[in-house]
Structure 1
Amino acid sequence: MSRKEREGPEPEPDVGDSPFYEGLGRDEPPSEDPDRTEALPVSPWPGAEAVLDGQASRYFASLDANIGDLQQRAQQLIDRVNDSRKEDHTVMSGFRESLLMKVSGLAEQLEERLFHLYGLHNELIQEQLQELAEVMERVGTAEAELRQVCRTVEAAYRDLCLQPET
């Protein structure tokens, strides 16, 4: 037979075999343990409800104290997290300020170097422009001389062409 096909109801475990009654003797019912705060549906003797109410009130007082301790510890953890976040914010603000100062300093240095390079390049460009102006002046002079030579050659050619042949 398989496990699913068992016949009849399962037998209930004895009180001593149950994991809910660990620590109790086999012949000791759960209501006789003084540390137990379980409420029984029917009181076993007169005045038992007062004893159970006292145990329940101690249990709930202890439970309230534990809950209060847990709430206090949770609040302390939250406060520590918030304090840590404030410290992180302060550190990040300081880091941001120092980073801005360093970046600003580096930008100023870069700007100074660029202006220095611009100055050097301007000097080189000025020298080359001066040389270009001198070359252009020589080209202009050579062009004027060449025109003069062309006019002279043209005049000589006309003189040769206009002379009668003899």
Structure 2
Amino acid sequence: MTAGPEVVTDRRVDLPTAADTTALGREIGTRLRPGDLVVLAGPLGAGKTCLAAGIGEGLGVEGPVTSPTFVIAREHPPLPGALGGRGVVLVHVDAYRLGVGTAATPDPREVAAQLDDLDLDTDLTRAAVVIEWGEGVAEHLVAEHLLVRLDRSGPDERRDAHLHGPARLVGGGP
């Protein structure tokens, strides 16, 4: 018997410090399992890589989780269970150099094709995949995904996150 689609929900989180962004990532990471896709969106400096590092901590993967901008994708195996690993591989992708962040108007089909060339659908059978700059180009990889939009606002450039996706991944419930 196949489970139906998960309930989709939204959540906003205030992120006054980088530590808060990492903590949110850690929280998300504790809920991820193989097959989950997290798409991170937001301007340069919004905290996408900081959030991804927290996700890696929550999954308990070998790190550090740093920006894969120049290599495009990096795989982080889980730490042994005795060291806190949950047994879930993290594949961390940065789509910026695929044209999302570098072109004035990137062609989403071209970027999606380049993501397809990375065989992320294969990774999704055994890993949790986090894609920075993936909004509008990575959603086709799975039926349901978590979108985290990070933003800076106000005179102090305060950060916040808007999470949209399956309730199991969005969290923050009662």
Structure 1 length normalisation: TM-score?
0.19
Relative contact order, higher structure (CA 8 A, sep 6+): 2
TM-score by length of 2: 0.18
> Highest CA radius of gyration, 1 or 2?
1
